[in-house]
Structure 1
């Protein structure tokens, strides 16, 4: 066994022992919001609270069968699709978008399949596993560059000679088993729940379990004007995942739109100044332009929130949080509505 592997397994054993001696592990029900899923890794617990439906999505109930004369939009993404405002679904991006479409006499049903923490890899699997059952006319894929690209460094898919291959290797199965065990233990652990108050999250369990192929770059790190080891691989893998999205949608006669979501780091200069580096050291355009060029070269339509968000004077993000506030949700829904409306007329 290599020295690095030995250190890794020693760390895992120590963490397991610490959790096991935590008395909360033996008492009470799990406080975890997620269930383990062998392909998606985690899904929301169905009916966990009033905003989570029976299928485990942050949405109202939707039947698989589509009503006549109704068109359907499937939303895929991460926590940006599931940020709850004032404990209600009504002021969220999915519900606001549906309301705008129907007020314009367009009979649309918007179905939110977004799950917090997902990368493009899990969103692709979610489309295949669940999204296609709804027979959608449109798929809107939320793409948040700040963490979606590093999220795709998970080992769920491998790239072999430019092709996407689902990882079924024994080593990854062992990683998933460890993730399942640690997730279950963490949900019952007072130690872990205390840890999450100080920056701990599911990401740490994923890293410890070996789910990522390398430590992911998050936040301002990917915007540094420096060459980052592994980042090029993550970007290339992301492009292949987006091409696969396009192919699945074309095969099922679905219109695909990529919703480009700006980071608060890109919009708020004060945040840039106080995140351990100066704005002049950051290059916000490099990766964004590379992704946009890729989308245009491959005729993948995208909805760009960047310009309007950057020009808006009001606060668009929750205080001390990376997610949209009510104003941000409204503007994002309005931009999406007008883009889809114009695209519908253009396609006629």
Structure 2
């Protein structure tokens, strides 16, 4: 085999490799162009958040409230949020050293996102029950599982806890299983410092499997490329698509929460804050069947009930919740 023939073969191989590379780059650039035209953008974390960073990383819970006094403007209104050293949101003046505790847990509806301290329903309950110390451990973004983990962390450190109020909303079901859409939203809002989230799945034996905090796995260059960002999303979707049975899992978590409170000689009260009629009916049936105390606090989320431009419950809706919960709490207080 002469030298010219060998060189010709080498040249042919190099040409094929170059052609393949050019073809792949062309396909990539064409796909990128088409996706941009169709409105698919690269991954972008939301930078222009109107709120200060009020959360910090926690290896067990994913994130937790960050101590501080935060004053900011939201849609033209002045908002004041005070997080104390024990990671609770302030609930007003206390009359002396109150021994009996009412603990409030849940997500942003319980914490009182986008409203000031004195507009939250735990603050309003504290005003009504001055002989109790109302502790608002509500943390934006928490679902049932994180609320349960938090409860197990704080109860051993809390003196004389008597009642736990868990503010439940429909979206907690999705948060409990951490599918692609929830992981992506947390990643989009990563500037707020809630990125990692623990979650629950059903094992092959149909029992709950508990998983440590994980985050949305962002690929390199997904901030710059629509194509890479789209493929990244599809990958996460496929990876998390087996995370189903969100209602069954949520009901199991609520049972665990109730059993934990019962063992600790604490009354658990589920406040149904938001759910459609069918979901509410199913949960109420479940609560009755399992002897779990609940209060139906569902009201229409009309324009006069939510924060303008945000959608979270405003002070007016929190007042209605506090009134309903206070009536239920009064019954427990009278019995004990």
Structure number, greater radius of gyration: 2
Pair 1:127-2:116 in alignment = no
Counterpart of 1:55 in structure 2 is 86
Counterpart of 1:294 in structure 2 is 286
Residue 322 of structure 2, aligned match among 330, 333, 338: 333
Superposition pairs for residues 27-38 of structure 1, below 5 Å?
32-38=53-59
Superposition pairs for residues 199-348 of structure 1, below 5 Å?
214=240, 233-262=245-274, 284-306=276-298, 309-310=299-300, 315-345=304-334, 347-348=335-336
Partner of 2:146, secondary structure, is helix
Residue 164 of structure 1, aligned match among 180, 184, 208: 208
Partner of 2:133, secondary structure, is strand
Partner of 1:56, secondary structure, is coil
Separation (CA, whole Å) in 2 of partners of 1:43 and 1:212: 29
Q: Which has the higher strand share?
A: 2
Change (3 A) 1:296 1:18: closer
Separation (CA, whole Å) in 1 of partners of 2:132 and 2:260: 22
Separation (CA, whole Å) in 2 of partners of 1:126 and 1:138: 15
Task: Quote the RMSD (CA, aligned, Å).
Answer: 3.6
Separation (CA, whole Å) in 1 of partners of 2:282 and 2:106: 20
- CA shift at 1:58, angstroms? 2.4
Separation (CA, whole Å) in 2 of partners of 1:298 and 1:141: 16
Change (3 A) 1:208 1:317: farther
Counterpart of 1:95 in structure 2 is 123
- CA shift at 1:109, angstroms? 0.8
Change (3 A) 1:313 1:142: closer
Residue 141 of structure 1, aligned match among 166, 170, 186: 166
Separation (CA, whole Å) in 2 of partners of 1:167 and 1:240: 15
Pair 1:79-2:71 in alignment = no
TM-score with structure 1 length normalisation? 0.61
Separation (CA, whole Å) in 1 of partners of 2:58 and 2:255: 25
Change (3 A) 1:108 1:159: same
Partner of 1:117, secondary structure, is coil
Unaligned runs of 5+ in 1: 1-16, 25-30, 183-190, 192-206, 216-228, 264-283
Residue 60 of structure 2, aligned match among 10, 35, 39: 39
Partner of 2:117, secondary structure, is coil
Separation (CA, whole Å) in 2 of partners of 1:209 and 1:117: 24
Unaligned runs of 5+ in 2: 1-41, 71-80, 179-197, 224-232
Change (3 A) 1:166 1:341: same
Aligned residues: 245
- CA shift at 1:79, angstroms? 0.5
Counterpart of 2:227 in structure 1 is none
TM-score with structure 2 length normalisation? 0.63
